[in-house]
Amino acid sequence: MAKRFDEAVCLIGGGPLDAGLLARAERLAPVLVAADRGADRLLELGRRPALVIGDMDSISDLAAWQAGPTEVLHLAEQDTTDFEKCLYATEAPLYLALGFTGGRMDHTLAVFHALLARPGKRVVVLGEGEAMTFLPPGRGLRLAARPGMRVSVFPFAETTGILSEGLEWPVAGLTFAPGRQSGTSNRAVAETVALGVDRGGALLILPEAALGTLLAALAAA
């Protein structure tokens, strides 16, 4: 049975972890959950997670973690990544994922694969100055914006725009598909941007500075 949290969760991976970004994310998502070696990354910054989840093949000293105050959930199966284990082994209203980008590209792509496999999870991935989430299909998001703010949409599956307001290049009616049409490097031209797609698979990429407005939009959706 999945462990339930009433508050938003910070999921911490084993990749590069910025102390300033962690502090900001923790204010928004106060529960720290580490994916395997992410526990060591937190310890390096003087923080301890409430829970560590994974196959424990890369954590520095599993016995020490098991003996300490942190709860450890050892999942030995190898069909999923540690990130996906964190998603299926917990329930939370929102996840902010840090330390899952900026390292190996196959690890980063595996994160987006896991999100596509679990569309019911509300997850925002933070890294390299960006905030990323999959657009909720059929409803769309309405975001506070500033003119000139970058608004990118990258398709991992074929999907069609059904809502578009406040964008320099409208996306309504456009069919996005890998290798055919993407919506990267669009820009806001108004103080409110609305965009939506008919099906899942469209990754929304915003500047990290827009994290607050993105979370507000997700909550409203």
Each residue of 39-56: pLDDT tens digit? 999 999 999 999 999 999
Average pLDDT (88-102) is 95
Give the global pTM. Answer: 0.94
Question: Residue 134 in contact with residue 201, Cβ under 8 Å?
Answer: yes
- For residue range 177-207, what is the model confidence (pLDDT) as tens digits? 999 999 999 999 999 999 999 999 999 999 9
- For residue range 122-181, what is the model confidence (pLDDT) as tens digits? 999 999 899 999 999 998 899 999 999 999 999 999 999 999 999 999 999 999 999 999
Domains and CATH numbers, the chain: 3-128 (3.40.50.10240), 141-220 (2.60.120)
Tell me the HSE value of 10 on the side-chain side, using a 13 A CA sphere.
Answer: 24
Average pLDDT (28-36) is 97
Give residue 64's pLDDT band: very low, low, confident or very high (50, 70, 90). confident
Q: What is the DSSP letter of 35?
A: E
Give residue 67's pLDDT band: very low, low, confident or very high (50, 70, 90). confident
Residue 102's pLDDT is: 80
- For residue range 99-114, what is the model confidence (pLDDT) as tens digits? 999 878 888 999 999 9
Lowest mean pLDDT among 17-31, 63-77, 127-141, 199-213: 63-77
